[in-house]
Structure 1
Amino acid sequence: MTKRKRAVIDIGSNTIRLVIYQYSKISGLKELMNIKSVARLRNDITEEGYLNEQGIQKLLNLLHSFKEMLIDYGIEHYRAVATASLRQSKNNQEIIKKMYEETGIQIELLSEQDEAYYGYFAVANTISTPSAVTIDIGGGSTEITYYEQKELKHAISLPFGSVSLKRQFMQSDTMTKREHDEVYHFAKQQFKEVTWLNDLKVPVVGISGSARSMAKMDQSRKNYPLTGVHQYRMSLADFNEINDEISSLTYNELKKMDELSADRADIIGPVAEVFRALMHVVDSQKFQLSRKGLREGIVISDILKEYPLAFDRTDVFRSNARYLASEFGKSENQILHHARIAELMYRELCRHELWDYSEEEIYILNQGAKVYMIGEYLEQDAASQHTFYLLSNRSINGLNHKERVRLALLASYKNKDSFYTYLKPFEDWFTKEEVQMLIRLGALLKLIYALDASKRSIVTDIVIEINEETPEVLDLEIQTRGYPLAEKYQGNKQKKHFERIVKKDVVLHFV
């Protein structure tokens, strides 16, 4: 299928961005390019409420540049959306008309409700957290939503943001202790007046660039072993420690921090206090970062109108596993076959009381089966190493960072030695019981994968039999719809890993 490119121009109060995406039914949604300009339009609004000539010219120049890029990239489908600064400008209609006449770009003025909705929609479709409060702090407004079991319950836009808070409370680029306290108490009072926010006791999901900065700062101080911040989780204690660190640094010191972009050094203080205030009002102990927000919400919404099955917010990982597997040469039929046969084998083991049945284990096994040894696409002999690296070092929608490592350990399972080598940087992430579970399921997946050595999905059923006269032997009747030459060879070669787990000799009978 032809991969279709689409773009979003996001005209915010702090930054203006052009982001280009590509979607196909085979490989899913990918971000190809992200160009940002720190325009700070909020500072160009006069006391009378009009965007001044300097701000208008700034916007016009950027749109000319973006239009040129859209033409060069051959992108016909794009949307240009404007949020708080243009929404709050009394001359916004004249500006929109001028931009269209001079650049051909039609700007959509998003309502507060639309802006909040698209942020929620991106989070619901890209992270697994079933219920949460989302917060997107822009330059001139802050959008808050509450969703429960992935359904939007409440949404509100509050008329303050990072740039407006700086103008209101800060006397210079360096924030004083008193100014920190003033922003915190102001934001807390604003949130308390939103009655549905009080004491929800659910995670808070941060969407904005400043939320990404907070996550990167936390990762840096912990020498975090993974890359990426999407679905990264922090505790309230982590948050308080970072806030204390920020409040002790000058503007110049903040600008030198590797994990903080220089254009956010003067606004990270107010933003951090807003996050802290919201967590206290919600009574939340968990802060989670979503790298997907307004722009992704718009794109996903548009894609779903054409392809209703492209995303599944009730099981975010399911559709992403399909895209991930296809990217590395596995068909949907193949991954569904592996998942089905693995579950058959698991249930047979439980039927004979060799393993204790667990719905959670079946779910984890199903995940691993869909991406098992995807590293073969790069190199057959090093498939395990490539699989672990690929899965542990890329953002996977629907999985938090621990779940991502868990999947990487399971899908790359080759033997116990390699498993423990991969586990070493993450030993304190998993209990002994979790480690043993992953080894069991990994050995099972290794055998199942061997039983599809010819990649023809010829195994139709597996039945386990135990003879009372030889209880030390596990007989596997493997029913096939074709001659299993490769499956016989690989199955008998790889069964030793499974034998160590079940502590029985395994005999394969192909029917």
Structure 2
Amino acid sequence: MIDIGSNTMRLVIYEYGEKRRFKQVENVKVAARLRNYLNEDQCLSAEGIRVLINTLHTFQIITRHHKIRQVKCVATATIRQAVNKEEVCRIVKEMTDFTVMVLSEYEEAFYGFLAVVNSTDKKEGITIDIGGGSTEVTYFSDRQLIEYHSFPFGALSLKLQYIKGDIPTEEERANIKSFVRSQIETLPWLKGKQLPIVAIGGSARNMVQLHQSFISYPLAGLHQYEMTLEDIRGVKEQLGGMTYQDLQKLEGLSKDRADTILPAIEVFETLCEVTGAPKFVLSRKGLREGLLFEELKKPFGIRLYPNVLEESFQQMIMDFEINIEHVNEVTKTASLLFQHFRMQLDFPLEDGDLHLLKRAAQVFQLGEYIDSESSSQHTFYLLANRTIDGISHKDRLKLALIASYKGKTAFRQYMEPFKDWMTKEEQKTLRFLGAVLKVASSLNATKRNIVKHVDVDKDLNGFTIKILCNSDYRAEEYQAEKQKKHLEKATKQSITLQFQDL
């Protein structure tokens, strides 16, 4: 897929895998800045066409090398707004392997929306995609597109229109903000909406990278990272005191965005103010991924995943060759243990805790794919550092802590960089869930699915877990006796295991 944007041009090669899955295998970006070549008559100049063709020739070398037969080449605002766009498209077709599809304002907005609802847990919200020459916003509810609009300005066009030097003065920033506000306020369906704003595109990604760098964010990943209006203002304030040379060297900021990041942040800040958004969320999935989801519709008739998080977990199960039969058995046993303990413990357990436990049971074997001896460390690292669509960063951390649980000491070690993220009560619950998972896993140690029922009784001496089996259970009993100490520490009660034949 080739994305001809106003600021950058990008070639991304995807490999089509099992069960409708696309995997990115190549990503090449060129800061062509075609917007600079749109003259006063709104024509893409001869020099602009030369830059476009030269960049496409570079991409052509790569697509030919990989023997790519199916290339989708799309163009957005600059080509769309060029009065000579038909001539430009004709020249591209004559001089390259590619045929340009110029996206309409609706299509550009729609594909961004489609990527967001297929890669996040948001059912209702506002999307924004700031390109170089246009800004698309949408409002969606119940995962359906309700409203859309394309503003004829972007980070690069704002820079060209309002900024004389490399970076804006305070007065120029005020002028940008005033103009952007006047534009946003023309849309009544945005005012006071008080919904999450989900942002896509390079400017939003760079702002998030800067914020993570400024606060030394300890968790990996940008997708579904959340910021507040105050966070956005904090980034803007820090950048506002820097020179253009400082910005070019700043970690987390692409050098080619040093002169457009501040105009973009003015747009983000103003949209949050006008809508009263409670949070600003980044989606790494945008226009290109939206187009891919549209491709899925052709052979499979699917436009929206029924459950985004479930799709992510199915992908992990495939990627790491997880034994699904064992997972199902452990999940069943862990759920039974949870429900029995829930009725008898002196600290509260919620439905959300059971949901996290079930998810952790699906992926607790992840680390074994790399090394069974240090499985816990690998499981924690993989889950804490892998993008998982449809789950927040905090819940991803919780998932990693439960799935990798091997004891209180390791838990504290993993938790150290995130100690301010959760209360002591939350940590206590996570240790309990991790201990339940350890015991449930041990009860299927030989992967024969011999446990047919589990019951839990409580008396003055502690808990008794009764395990009914339909086959020889000595291996399971040995492992469970080793692992029950984790439950004893988590519940602060003695635990007796009673294995019985069916």
Normalising by the smaller structure, the TM-score range is over 0.9
Q: Match of 1:4?
A: none
Q: Please list every run of 5 or more consecutive structure 2 residues that lacks an aligned counterpart in the other structure.
A: none
- Equivalent of residue 430 in structure 2, options 438, 445, 448: 438
Cα distance between partner residues in 2 of 1:84 and 1:415: 55
Instruction: Give 3-state SS (helix, strand or coil) of 2:47's partner.
Output: helix
Instruction: State the shift of 1:449 in Å.
Output: 1.1
Instruction: Give 3-state SS (helix, strand or coil) of 1:77's partner.
Output: coil
The residue identity in structure 1 corresponding to 2:340 is E
Instruction: Give 3-state SS (helix, strand or coil) of 1:14's partner.
Output: coil
Q: Match of 2:468?
A: 478
Instruction: State the shift of 1:167 in Å.
Output: 1.3
* 1:92 to 1:25, Cα distance in 2 relative to 1, 3 A: same
1:175-324 to structure 2, matched below 5 A, reads: 175-307=168-300, 312=305, 315-324=307-316
Instruction: State the shift of 1:254 in Å.
Output: 0.9
Cα distance between partner residues in 2 of 1:119 and 1:495: 49
- Equivalent of residue 123 in structure 1, options 116, 119, 124: 116
Cα distance between partner residues in 2 of 1:133 and 1:508: 54
Cα distance between partner residues in 2 of 1:295 and 1:444: 41
Instruction: Give 3-state SS (helix, strand or coil) of 2:6's partner.
Output: coil
- Equivalent of residue 499 in structure 1, options 488, 495, 501: 488
The residue identity in structure 2 corresponding to 1:235 is T
Cα distance between partner residues in 1 of 2:327 and 2:443: 13
Instruction: State the shift of 1:309 in Å.
Output: 7.0
**In the alignment, is residue 57 of structure 1 matched against residue 50 of structure 2?**
yes
1:57-456 to structure 2, matched below 5 A, reads: 57-307=50-300, 312=305, 315-351=307-343, 356=348, 358-456=350-448
The residue identity in structure 2 corresponding to 1:372 is F
CA contact under 8 A between 2:401 and 2:430: conserved in structure 1?
A: yes
Cα distance between partner residues in 2 of 1:105 and 1:340: 52
- Determine what percentage of the aligned residue pairs are the same residue: 39
Instruction: Give 3-state SS (helix, strand or coil) of 1:46's partner.
Output: coil
* C-alpha distance after superposition, 1:60-84 (max 9, x if no partner): 1222221221121132233111111
The residue identity in structure 2 corresponding to 1:493 is K
Cα distance between partner residues in 2 of 1:392 and 1:329: 19
CA contact under 8 A between 1:337 and 1:457: conserved in structure 2?
A: yes
Higher mean alpha-carbon deviation, 191-200 vs 150-159, is at 150-159
Higher mean alpha-carbon deviation, 361-370 vs 67-76, is at 67-76
CA contact under 8 A between 1:343 and 1:362: conserved in structure 2?
A: yes
TM-score by length of 1: 0.93
Cα distance between partner residues in 2 of 1:27 and 1:100: 30
CA contact under 8 A between 2:473 and 2:499: conserved in structure 1?
A: no
Cα distance between partner residues in 1 of 2:225 and 2:467: 44
* 1:60 to 1:127, Cα distance in 2 relative to 1, 3 A: same
The residue identity in structure 2 corresponding to 1:445 is L
Cα distance between partner residues in 1 of 2:225 and 2:345: 38
* C-alpha distance after superposition, 1:20-48 (max 9, x if no partner): 12232369433222111111111111211
The residue identity in structure 2 corresponding to 1:104 is D
Instruction: Give 3-state SS (helix, strand or coil) of 1:78's partner.
Output: coil
CA contact under 8 A between 2:236 and 2:265: conserved in structure 1?
A: yes
Instruction: State the shift of 1:242 in Å.
Output: 1.1
Q: Match of 2:453?
A: 462
Aligned residues: 500
Q: Please list every run of 5 or more consecutive structure 1 residues that lacks an aligned counterpart in the other structure.
A: 1-7
Instruction: Give 3-state SS (helix, strand or coil) of 1:508's partner.
Output: strand
Cα distance between partner residues in 2 of 1:442 and 1:159: 52
Instruction: State the shift of 1:143 in Å.
Output: 0.5
Instruction: Give 3-state SS (helix, strand or coil) of 1:318's partner.
Output: helix
CA contact under 8 A between 1:25 and 1:310: conserved in structure 2?
A: no
Cα distance between partner residues in 2 of 1:166 and 1:333: 57
Cα distance between partner residues in 2 of 1:145 and 1:110: 16
Instruction: State the shift of 1:141 in Å.
Output: 0.4
Cα distance between partner residues in 2 of 1:29 and 1:457: 34
The residue identity in structure 2 corresponding to 1:318 is E
Instruction: State the shift of 1:444 in Å.
Output: 0.4
Cα distance between partner residues in 1 of 2:49 and 2:197: 35
Instruction: Give 3-state SS (helix, strand or coil) of 2:72's partner.
Output: strand
* 1:300 to 1:337, Cα distance in 2 relative to 1, 3 A: farther
Cα distance between partner residues in 1 of 2:293 and 2:327: 24
Instruction: Give 3-state SS (helix, strand or coil) of 1:429's partner.
Output: coil
TM-score by length of 2: 0.94
Instruction: Give 3-state SS (helix, strand or coil) of 1:433's partner.
Output: helix
Cα distance between partner residues in 1 of 2:68 and 2:450: 44
Cα distance between partner residues in 1 of 2:22 and 2:399: 21
* 1:252 to 1:103, Cα distance in 2 relative to 1, 3 A: same
Cα distance between partner residues in 2 of 1:146 and 1:222: 31
Q: Match of 1:24?
A: 17
* 1:488 to 1:33, Cα distance in 2 relative to 1, 3 A: same
Instruction: State the shift of 1:405 in Å.
Output: 1.1
The residue identity in structure 2 corresponding to 1:436 is K
CA contact under 8 A between 2:159 and 2:263: conserved in structure 1?
A: yes
Cα distance between partner residues in 1 of 2:121 and 2:297: 19
Higher mean alpha-carbon deviation, 344-353 vs 303-312, is at 303-312
Instruction: State the shift of 1:373 in Å.
Output: 3.4
Instruction: Give 3-state SS (helix, strand or coil) of 1:428's partner.
Output: coil
Cα distance between partner residues in 2 of 1:333 and 1:155: 45
Instruction: Give 3-state SS (helix, strand or coil) of 1:104's partner.
Output: coil
Instruction: State the shift of 1:486 in Å.
Output: 3.4
The residue identity in structure 1 corresponding to 2:78 is S
Higher mean alpha-carbon deviation, 350-359 vs 484-493, is at 350-359
**In the alignment, is residue 487 of structure 1 matched against residue 476 of structure 2?**
yes
CA contact under 8 A between 1:326 and 1:332: conserved in structure 2?
A: no
